[in-house]
Amino acid sequence: QGRVVDDEEGGVLFLSGSHSSSSSSYGYASIEKQRQRLPVYKYRTAILYLVETHATTIVVGETGSGKTTQIPQYLKEAGWAAGGRLIACTQPRRLAVQTVASRVAEEMGVKLGDEVGYTIRFEDVTKPDVTVLKFLTDGVLLREMMDDPLLTKYSVIMVDEAHERSISTDILLGLLKKIQRRRPELRLIISSATIEAKSMSDFFRMRKKRREPENEEHGLEVEPAILSVEGRGFNVQINYAEEPVPDYVQAAVSTVLLIHEREPTGDVLLFLTGQDDIDAAVQLLSDEVQTNGKQSSGLIVLPLYSGLSRAEQELVFSPTPRGKRKVVISTNIAETSLTLEGVVYVVDSGFSKQRFYNPISDIENLVVAPISKASARQRAGRAGRVRPGKCYRLYTEEYFLKHMSNEGIPEIQRSNMVSCVIQLKALGIDNILGFDWPASPSPEAMIRALEILYSLGVLDDDAKLTSPTGFQVAEIPLDPMVSKMIIASSELGCSQEIITIAAVLSVQSIWISGRGMQKESDEAKLRFAAAEGDHVTFLNIYKGFHQSGKSSQWCHKNYINYHAMRKVLEVRDQLKRIAQRIGLVLKSCDGDMQAVRKAVCAGFFANACHLEAYSHNGMYKTLRGSQEVYIHPSSVLFRVNPKWVIYNSLVSTDRQYMRNVITIDPSWLLEAAPHFYQLLKPDSLH
């Protein structure tokens, strides 16, 4: 293991060493042995030394090398959790937080929630004074700053998966840099799967100001250390599609079947984009297994996305039985956040769901978009963990070379900034445009965010949080529009109903979906459908679920996802507690749906649309930006096409579709947001 000080890097300490790739860590090796086989183990001493001597340490290492599961344990073993201090490890994804925490608890032989715990929004599995290793989303850590701005209980904070550049990671990095100036004893570890370390290092370099000698006093290096964990996996042979594929779900399924037919044993990891196409692919493959028994016997098909129950999530990590082949169909989560052992074949659709925001039209939506070359390489890398593997790209080589971008765009540059602005304001950061971002958001997006927050009554003329509304909205861990809806419901006397709606909107989908079930599921939906729209339909479902005694059979019968409904109950409980804490009145409107619709309008007025007068195909235009939008087929208002509606979110496929839609009276818009709609003449609202 050599240590090289690379002068050209400006004194950056660069450690490298060769790693003979971990032999198949399958089998019965003790957990301790398995831990020692991980590439990161060789760097244990080096990492601890760097953390001891540097304010910031950047660790770069291939997925699966042990960064996430091992480094927090090393820190604990070295005493960083002594004296009631905590070690934090953040992740951009909730599912990763849960599975990683559960794995680390298992490795340490402790019960999850005791020494090792995790916190995600609406779920806190930690014990005060007991938990010392805490896994959490970067969003939750941001929220913790509202109560403890300097994060004083943490000795080390590891910001993991920094290469993902999620919006919360970027805000967190900006704030941690500020905290470091006030708390020089705090140690940061930034870990990443790709070598973008130089720019992170530049970001965290502490400028030596004349009047700022604290860090030298602490004897800490001001220059971030960069450590690269060498753990290259085995070779992966790349295969491209010969021609562009028209339907990537179908193409993916055929490819998996072909692999199963022709290739020796080894698990398959298929990257699709989200619950919809993953469920569809699971269905197609399962059908194949049923009808075409012989060739496809021995296939175990498992989905992996964040809406799954814990038991379903755990399944993907269980060892594949001898003679079988596991096929895991996953979102981006398996790209770098989670490691699946035993994968030898990767099928890459070339797409992922990404957030895009256009500040001009003020439209944000989740789009199935092409991934970057960097992502494609990461995906392929998953095939080389245990032995040489193969990656099947469902796009052509020419497409890869000529059309895929090198790197993804940081999320902060393609998101609506409303949540971000309010969080920074709540943390007392007033000059948001001057904030030290790892990557700057666009000024247009900032201005849009300020404008909408002003219209929501969250910011005043001086762009300060209003009291109480602004502070209340900031306290609720939801999108500010949802939070405002909840606050308005308190005055409108329908907070019980609105809290239920907010809880349903916070889970991915309460419907069971999948190809071949559409008809039954649509029929089930009709049983609950309300003329007012989806939000009221949710209330009907919630009521039915309650009356059934929260029965799973009832859910099954109605094509409703039982697991999602349990989650709704949990979230609802938490929202109730938060509402009470911030002084809202909990009240039911006893069937007065006008109150409910007005409350939705008070939060979501910016998403108002009206049906185009001469449209025969259900085309709507957004009121503010005149963008063409359509009601999503999953909405109970699909084909009903009421004149005035408000949507909760947009999804974009061939068109922009509104998801979760409710009817409104246009006069409520002027009431809810006179400033926002001041340019609309009352006579245009007919």
Residues that bind Mg ion (CB under 5 A): 68
* DSSP of 131-184: --EEEEEHHHHHHHHHH-TT-TTEEEEEE--GGG--HHHHHHHHHHHHHHHH-T
Residue from the set 46, 50, 56, 69 that interacts with ligand ADP by CB under 6 A? 69
Comparing CB distances to ligand ADP, the nearer of 30 and 290 is 30
- Decide if 208 contacts 178 (C-beta within 8 A): no
What number of chain residues touch ligand ADP (CB under 6 A)?
Answer: 16
Under rule CB under 6 A, residue 38 binds ligand ADP: yes
Residue from the set 234, 240, 317, 638 that interacts with ligand ADP by CB under 6 A? 317
Segment lying near ligand ADP (by CB under 6 A), choices 9-17, 66-74, 175-183, 280-288: 66-74
**Residue 303 contact, options Mg ion, ligand ADP, none, Cβ 5-8 Å cut-off depending on partner type:** none
Under rule CB under 6 A, residue 63 binds ligand ADP: yes
Residue from the set 55, 64, 327, 348 that interacts with ligand ADP by CB under 6 A? 64
Task: Find residue 652's DSSP bridge partners.
Answer: 367, 656
421 Cα distance to chain centroid: 19
Residue 665: CB partners within 8 Å, gap ≥ 6?
A: 597, 644
CB of 113 to Mg ion, least distance (A): 21
Comparing CB distances to Mg ion, the nearer of 40 and 564 is 40
- Decide if 199 contacts 447 (C-beta within 8 A): no
Residue from the set 13, 61, 139, 677 that interacts with ligand ADP by CB under 6 A? 61
| Contacting ligand ADP within 81-110 (CB under 6 A) | 99, 103
CB of 67 to Mg ion, least distance (A): 5
Comparing CB distances to Mg ion, the nearer of 157 and 555 is 157
**Residue 70 contact, options Mg ion, ligand ADP, none, Cβ 5-8 Å cut-off depending on partner type:** ligand ADP
- Decide if 187 contacts 211 (C-beta within 8 A): no
Under rule CB under 6 A, residue 341 binds ligand ADP: yes
* Binding string, residues 622-641; x marks residues near ligand ADP by CB under 6 A: --------------------
Under rule CB under 6 A, residue 192 binds ligand ADP: no
CB of 32 to ligand ADP, least distance (A): 13
Q: Residue 228: helix, strand or coil by DSSP?
A: strand
**Residue 66 contact, options ligand ADP, Mg ion, none, Cβ 5-8 Å cut-off depending on partner type:** ligand ADP
**Residue 65 contact, options Mg ion, ligand ADP, none, Cβ 5-8 Å cut-off depending on partner type:** ligand ADP
Segment lying near ligand ADP (by CB under 6 A), choices 61-69, 245-253, 542-550, 559-567: 61-69
As a whole number of angstroms, the distance between CA 94 and CA 477 comes to 14
Burial of 110 (0-12, 13-18, 19+ CB in 10 A): middle
CB of 354 to ligand ADP, least distance (A): 22
Residue 74: CB partners within 8 Å, gap ≥ 6?
A: 44, 47, 48
Comparing CB distances to ligand ADP, the nearer of 106 and 287 is 106
- Decide if 289 contacts 232 (C-beta within 8 A): no
Comparing CB distances to ligand ADP, the nearer of 234 and 471 is 234
CB of 161 to ligand ADP, least distance (A): 8
- Which residue's C-beta sits nearest to Mg ion? 68
Residue 684: CB partners within 8 Å, gap ≥ 6?
A: none
CB of 94 to Mg ion, least distance (A): 14
288 to 295, 297, 324: CA distances (angstroms):
9, 9, 16
Dihedral sign, Cα of residue 23, residue 27, residue 29, residue 31:
positive
Comparing CB distances to ligand ADP, the nearer of 114 and 214 is 114
Establish whether the linkage from the previous residue to 128 is cis, with ω within 30° of 0: no
CB of 317 to ligand ADP, least distance (A): 4
As a whole number of angstroms, the distance between CA 538 and CA 501 comes to 7
| Contacting ligand ADP within 417-446 (CB under 6 A) | none
User: Which residue, chain included where needed, has tokens 């951009």?
Assistant: 92
282 to 98, 175, 285, 353, 413: CA distances (angstroms):
23, 42, 5, 18, 34
Comparing CB distances to ligand ADP, the nearer of 101 and 487 is 101
Under rule CB under 6 A, residue 68 binds ligand ADP: yes
369 to 126, 294, 374: CA distances (angstroms):
37, 36, 14
5 to 10, 193, 196, 221: CA distances (angstroms):
9, 22, 19, 14
As a whole number of angstroms, the distance between CA 402 and CA 405 comes to 8
Comparing CB distances to ligand ADP, the nearer of 114 and 451 is 114
Under rule CB under 6 A, residue 66 binds ligand ADP: yes
Under rule CB under 6 A, residue 413 binds ligand ADP: no
How many residues in the chain?
Answer: 686
**Residue 638 contact, options ligand ADP, Mg ion, none, Cβ 5-8 Å cut-off depending on partner type:** none
As a whole number of angstroms, the distance between CA 206 and CA 228 comes to 21
CB of 391 to ligand ADP, least distance (A): 18
Backbone angles phi, psi at 393, to 5 degrees: -95, 125
Comparing CB distances to Mg ion, the nearer of 164 and 279 is 164
Segment lying near ligand ADP (by CB under 6 A), choices 56-64, 515-523, 528-536, 636-644: 56-64
Backbone angles phi, psi at 336, to 5 degrees: -140, -20
Residue from the set 42, 44, 57, 65 that interacts with ligand ADP by CB under 6 A? 65
Comparing CB distances to ligand ADP, the nearer of 96 and 446 is 96
CB of 160 to Mg ion, least distance (A): 6
| Contacting ligand ADP within 589-618 (CB under 6 A) | none
Helices (H), 54-135: 67-77, 94-108
Comparing CB distances to ligand ADP, the nearer of 324 and 403 is 324
Rounded-to-5 percentages of helix, strand, coil across the chain: 45, 20, 35
Segment lying near ligand ADP (by CB under 6 A), choices 58-66, 287-295, 520-528, 600-608: 58-66
Segment holding 511, helix H or strand E: none
- Give every strand in the sheet of 299-304, ordered side by side: 236-240, 389-393, 343-348, 267-271, 325-330, 299-304
**Residue 415 contact, options Mg ion, ligand ADP, none, Cβ 5-8 Å cut-off depending on partner type:** none
CB of 18 to ligand ADP, least distance (A): 18
Which residues lie near ligand ADP (CB under 6 A)?
A: 25, 38, 61, 63-70, 99, 103, 317, 339, 341
